Every structure is written in C-alpha cells, then in structure tokens.
Chain A
C-alpha cells in the first residue's frame, strides 16, 4: 500500500464523485464547479502517470479556458441561484439503465480482452520529445494535424463571431 496508490485512489474518487455530482446537482453553478474538480482530478491522474505536459495542457485549456467559458455563458443565460428544472424521473431511470448497460458491456469486454503491449523501450513524454514530434513532417510527426487543428480553430472562431456577435439591425 504505497503512497502513490493512495494518491491514485483519492484522485479517482475525486474525479468520479465530482463527475457524478456535476451531472446530478440541480444548482448550475455547483455543477460547473464539480466539473472543474473532476477535470482537475483527471489532470491529477495525468500527473500521477508522469504525463506532465498533458496535465499542464489539461489545466490550462480546461480549467483555464473551457470552464471559464462555461461559467460566463451561465452568467449570460441564467439568473443566479435558481434551480435547474427537475429531469423527468422516467427518463432518468431509463438513461441510468442504458448508461449502466453500456458501462457493463464495455467493462466486460475490456476485462475479457488480453491486451498485448509493446516490448520496445519507452519513449519518455518529455517536452523536447513532444516538441519535435509535434512539428515533425516525417513518420510519427504531427505537423499536419497541427495545421488542420489550426484551420479548425479559425473556422470555429469565424463561426462564433458570426453567430454570437449579431450585426446591428438584428439586435435592435
């Protein structure tokens, strides 16, 4: 029972519990906060696996970016403090059932499957390695996806601008 194990289970607990709360609580702000915790927990798991870079990205993008975005949008669309409408109980049960079936099926398959790993020596996820892979154009390089994502972000930006910022006559 080493310390790392304890940390692992704590992180796991944090992630799952706050995840569950994030999708069940009826106060939208708390939901956002629980989401935040859950994401942080995942980041922690990355750290625990010594994938520091990903963990950092996770923190920056999610915690710093998306969650803030979500909270702002909540400000825009929600009067503070009022509870979310209660979901239909029937729907809830059915969804739970479906989700559970899916979960059990997946877990069953995952556990039944014998994963065969590689035997080659590992390539450590150091920032330098990541960096030259990221910009590599030959095999195992990810320059092209990088470009594609950039285009995607551009497009998303344009879309957001058009949709969110209405032109004058529309607003009046």
Chain B
C-alpha cells in the first residue's frame, strides 16, 4: 500500500523549482505562504468562525495578513534590490510551477508564481491596502453579526487577488479572476437582507461575468494559436515575428481583423468588465452597497485595477497589435471623461468616489493605450503602473475617510453632511491630502503619476491629451466639491450625543495611507517598473506641468466658490445646463438601457418563449403521442362487437384477404 501512499504524495506536492535563484535560496515556500495565509484565514474563520472564534476572528485575520504582508515586503525587497535584477534588467522569474490540469500536450493550466516588476509591485499594493482595511475594519465593523464571515471573505478576496497578480499562466489568472469576482460578490452582498445589496451583488457578478465571457474566448483563441497557456512562452511566441505561432495568428483573420487583434480585444473586454470601463461600468456605483472598507479595498484599490494589470501583463502582445491598443486607449479616455462628468453631479459620497475611481482607471487604461513597448516609448506603461500605485494609496484613503464620515453620520448623502471638520479632524486632514493628491497638486503623489501619463499621451495623441487635461480639471472640481460638502459648506447638524472618530484602529490606517498619498510620488518609479524591465529615466519638464496644475487649481477654485459656503449657486448652474445636468445625474441612462435589454429582450423575447416552447410544444408532442394512442384504441373498439357472427365474418375476410394478398400481390416465389 505504500505504493499508493507514494502516488498520493506525488500528486499533492510535486513542486518543480524551475529556476534556482541567484541568491541560491529557493523562495518557493515563502512565496507560497503569501497567498496561502489569507486563504488559511478564510478557511479557519469560514468554518469555525461563527461558533468558536467569534469576535477575535478580526484579530486572527489581521495577524495572518500581517504575516503575509511582511513576506510580501520581504519578497519585494529581495526582488528589487537583491536577486531580481540581472545585469541591469529585471527578470521574469518563475520560482514555482506545478501542472494543474493538462489539456493536451503543451497546453496545460499550471499553478505557478511569477515574479516581475508589476507582479511584485501589485503584491506590495494588495497586501498593504488589504492590511490597512483589515485594521480599519476592526473598528468599523465592530459588533456586526457576521463579523467572522466578513473577515473570512476578506481573507478569500486577498488570497484570490494575490493569486491573480502572481499568476504565471493566463488560465491561472482567469481562475483567480473569477475567484476575485465571487469574493467581491460575497462582500457586496454582505448585508444580504438589504434588497438593494442583493441586487447590487448580483449585478456586479453578472456584468463582470458577461465580460469574462470575452476574456475566456480570448484565452481560448490565444492558446489555440500559441499552443500554450504559460505567460512566458505565450508572450515569447506571439511577439517574435519569426515564430510560426505569430504568423499563424496574424494570418488568420475574421471579418477582416486579424485573430491576434480579436483575441486581444476579447481579453480586453474581460479587463474592461472588471475595471468598470465604459460601457461595462454600471456595476461599480451599485457595488457601493457593500461595507465601506470593502469598497476601499476591492472597488478602489485592488480588484478594479485588475483589468489594467491584465493589459499590462499581456502588454508585449498588445503592443504587437496597434488596433487593440487603440481600443484600449479610446475606451480608457471615454470612461475617464464620462465618469468625471457624472461624478460632478452625484450626491451620494461613495458614488462620487466610485465614479472618480472609474475615471482614474480610465487614465491608467489610456496610458497603456498610448504606450509603446520598451525604451522611451514605454513611458505610458510605467506611468500607468505608477498611477495605479499612487491611486491605490489615495483612493483607499478617500474611501476609508468617507467610511469614517459615514460611520459618524450614518448616511451617505451629502445633504446630511457639512461642517464636519470640527468633529473629525484627522479624517478631515487626511481626506484633504487625498483630495490634493488626486487633483494632481504638487507635491502630492497624484501629481507625479498623472504628469507622466499626460506626458506620454501628449507624445502619442494630442486630442486625447486635451481631453485628459479637461478631465483632470473636472477631477479636481468634483473632489473638492465632495470635500467642501462634507467638511465645510454649513454648520454641522449632529443630533444627540455622538461617538467621535473611530479611535486608533480606524485612524492609524488613515494616517499611514495619508503618508503614502503624500510621499509615494517621490519614488523613482521608472527605475523599478518599465515595459521591458530596463530602468526608465523619467524626464520631467516644468513648463509642461504648468497646464494640468493650473487646470487643477481652477477646478479647485470653482469648487471653493460654489461649495465652500452654503449657497444656491450650484443649483442655478445646474438649472442653466438643465438637460445635460439631468442626463449626467441619471448617469446618462445607461442603467435603464441595460435594464431594457435584459428585461425586455433577454427575458421576454428569449427566456419566456423558450419556457413556453418547452412546456407546450416539446412536452405537448410527447403527451400528444400518448393521447392519440389512447384515442385510437378507443376508436377501434368496435371490432370487438361481441357478435360471434361478425367475428366469423372478420375471420373469413381475413382468410380471403390473406389469400388474395399472397396469391396475387405479395408473391416472392
């Protein structure tokens, strides 16, 4: 029987360390622990949380995540400063790879870990933000009935997100992609007895699922031509123009567009779905039904940028197909502007933040769209990643700040707020920093990243550049609108006695993130992350950065003029551009459009007929055969008349009939 034992062991842990790292030591287990610790947290709290662990489960989850954060930072340090760089180029390391499901020779899903600048960067971001949120939730979610479940879900999400960023195989990425989706579904639906929350989580899941359909087909196409699912080989084969795979995929075309472009566009649809790009963005605002820390983690910092990450991961391949990149660019810029406009009109603070998130991700997207691969032209890539990094900081901060506001005032609506700066001083300061950062005011983080993006865009496409400029102006405007409406605008109405700001566990993350938001810009990002792994000198033109900053300041000024003091200027303006305002306020009726398509067309024109057809036609035919048989038997009962003479007549008729038949008609002899 030890033979059997051997087989099982073989199945369970046959890890193949592909590359012995320069430093000689294998990171296998350490790396593995980074995602596995949160997973352990999920299982632990998910199974035993409710009964046995109870209120300490928050602490359990947080400590586990702390550990994995430490490991992540250790790995990042090791990668960036120790073994990652081989003669000046950051390597793609795959320290861990295990064949999970072999489809056909060469094509298999491998569970692996890839280490390259973006994945390591994402490791840091995800673990750090997630840790912040864990800590913050200790205070924010205290006393919730399903406290353990909450932390279990957080663990699940963190695990999936880490798995996503570390995937060495496009199908592995897809797997974690789905897992991320489901954990987001679970967390949005956390308040499961609120119908709106239920609707929201369903919407989020289904919309992203729809997008994933594209992703899946894209993967199938890529793998079909590349004959592999492994990122390394895939990129290598589809970027070397000499390779037969590349020739095949560019030669094959459908509706005049090459298979490569199709595949990439399809993949991008998946990314757009996750990253709430126009027109697949409709789930994001509703997703705000989830607990605010969750929004901070999932719908601001990490999951929603997965789309950007996906494009970045496949960027070399994207760069081989200009049309695909253009699609990315146009979608990105559209979403950026569109979301910014809507954000100016929303009154639910979380929704405002949601739209701003969408807009910022739009920035990252078109930054990738305008970028080239390698060298100077890769500036867009770096910028996009840089913006992703900084955005994670200040957007998480914004959400957490909004969270403490909501925690304090028990409402999301601007009309219930105002003048809270006295009551929530720390929140106020950190929030202000975040607003400045996102508005691209130097020297805060946002300034630098957005600067690079605009620079890259300017070199690539001027029109896009001007639109982006306007958008950043709008960004400044709506952010400060938000800021003033919350903290200034009028005397606070605080009914009854109130508990102050959440206390240490809620403030500490704010402060840490604020520091990040303030200083992250000074990191020389290009040294670490670039499209080709070589350091990228980020050139910095002062005269160039005048315009955006100026626009930003204008926006801020406008916001100040309108909202600093309570007044009805804003209403009058809204009236002035009435139709447009209404349209923007109703998010340009995209939701209604979707509703129409799903309810009216899918349900009424496909689903209902299908059900009807099945009930009446298919089933009816089956019953019909039965009934007709019975009916026939009823009709021929006259034969058995009970008259013996008739029997005899039939008898004779039978005899004569048979005789005639076989003598004259059917006579084989």
List residues of A whose CB falls within 8 A of some B CB: 91, 94-95, 98-99, 101-102, 105, 109
Contacts and interface: CB of A to CB of B under 8 A. Distances in A.
B574 interface: no
B440 to A, nearest CB: 107
Contacts of B655: 102
A8 B660 CA distance: 33
B652 A102 contact: yes
A24 B649 CA distance: 18
A101 B663 CA distance: 15
A105 B659 contact: yes
Closest 6 pairs (CB-CB, A-B)? A102-B656, A98-B652, A101-B656, A98-B649, A102-B652, A105-B656
Nearest to B663: A109
A7 B653 CA distance: 36
Given A98-B653, A99-B652, 4 more contacts: A98-B652, A101-B656, A105-B659, A109-B663
Task: Specify the main secondary structure of chain B where it touches its partner.
Answer: helix
Task: Specify the main secondary structure of chain A where it touches its partner.
Answer: helix
Contacts of A109: 663
A109 B660 CA distance: 11
A95 B656 contact: no
B660 A105 contact: yes
A101 B654 CA distance: 12
Contacts of A99: 652
A158 B659 CA distance: 39
Contacts of A101: 656
B465 to A, nearest CB: 103
Contacts of B652: 98-99, 102
A98 to B, nearest CB: 5
B102 interface: no
B645 A91 contact: yes
A102 B649 CA distance: 11
A101 B659 CA distance: 11
Contact of A94 (B649, B656, B660, B663): B649
A98 B659 CA distance: 13
Nearest to B652: A98
Nearest to A94: B649
A104 to B, nearest CB: 10
16 contacts: A91-B645, A94-B649, A95-B649, A98-B649, A98-B652, A98-B653, A98-B656, A99-B652, A101-B656, A102-B652, A102-B655, A102-B656, A105-B656, A105-B659, A105-B660, A109-B663
Nearest to A108: B663
A151 B592 CA distance: 97
A99 B655 CA distance: 12
A95 B649 CA distance: 7
A105 B653 CA distance: 12
B669 to A, nearest CB: 15
Contacts of A98: 649, 652-653, 656
A99 to B, nearest CB: 8
A101 B649 CA distance: 12
Contacts of A102: 652, 655-656
Interface in B632-651: 645, 649
A105 B659 CA distance: 9
Contacts of A91: 645
A19 B574 CA distance: 118
Interface string B285-323: 000000000000000000000000000000000000000
Contacts of B659: 105
Contacts of B645: 91
A109 B656 CA distance: 12
B642 to A, nearest CB: 15
Interface string B610-649: 0000000000000000000000000000000000010001
A11 to B, nearest CB: 28
